[in-house]
Structure 1
Amino acid sequence: MYSLVFYVPETHLDEVKNAVFSAGAGSIGDYEQCCWQVKGEGQFRPNLNAAPFIGNAGEIEKVAEYRVEMVLHTALKTSVRDALLAAHPYEEVAYHFIQTEC
């Protein structure tokens, strides 16, 4: 199993979660669409080659984002990653998988 952790702007929270849930993430036993989420503030500065969804190239941007965590079975890793990247509005998506035991 894996734990998926990703960061998403508040405006796209439900859309992105629903995409990864539809790909099979967030299931634990008889429960579906399980996750942990916490609101925080993300910071980034797009370089001059970037085409940012939020902010301007060369300027520091701070935005309300959620950190979302959920588990998934190993066999779903590729399809969940693809769903995350397709639904997420950012040009560069901040995410990581952590191998875990449940």
Structure 2
Amino acid sequence: MCHCATMPAHSLMKFKLVFFSPVSATPGVLRRLFERFPDTVGKEGLYRGCAFVGRGVGQFVPQAGASPAIGAAGRAETVEEDRVEVSVRVQERALMSEVIDALKEAHPYEEVVYDVYKVEDF
């Protein structure tokens, strides 16, 4: 016999958004996401603006035709970057696209590297 609580029909779907950002741009990108989606991005219970930020080094080689924010086409680059993780809660899966669009608008890179993971509640 299961003593599990039933999930309410209006429950939110939870995702983990992970993206990489040059160190100098991270605070601005997060600020814009938190301001635009205060109850959706980075909200954990009674806390807002929650994120995990870890440092590392990213590398890339812009190809011909690229307009890199850092470096030049054909030349390998390394950049001190942050790996940023934030939770995202949405009522509909399609709303996650709005969050990704806002990330791309706020981010300085021509090609924003990000991952979205579906998170299950336990």
Q: TM-score, normalised by structure 1?
A: 0.94
Ranked by relative contact order (alpha carbons within 8 Å, sequence separation 6 or more), the top structure is 1
Q: Would you say how many aligned residue pairs link Structure 1 and Structure 2?
A: 102
**Once superposed, which parts of structure 1, at least 4 consecutive aligned residues long, lie more than 3 Å away?**
none
Taking only aligned residues, the RMSD between alpha carbons, in angstroms, comes to 1.1
Residue in 2 that maps onto 1:27: 43
* Paired residues for 1:44-83 under 5 Å: 44-75=60-91, 76-83=95-102
1:3 paired to 2:22: no
1-side partners of 2:57 and 2:87: how far apart? 23
Question: What is the SS of the residue equivalent to 1:73?
Answer: strand
Residue in 2 that maps onto 1:86: 105
Task: Tell me by how many angstroms 1:55 deviates.
Answer: 0.4
Residue in 1 that maps onto 2:55: 39
Task: Tell me by how many angstroms 1:63 deviates.
Answer: 0.3
5+ long unaligned stretches in structure 2: 1-13
Residue identity (%) = 40
Question: What is the SS of the residue equivalent to 1:31?
Answer: coil
5+ long unaligned stretches in structure 1: none
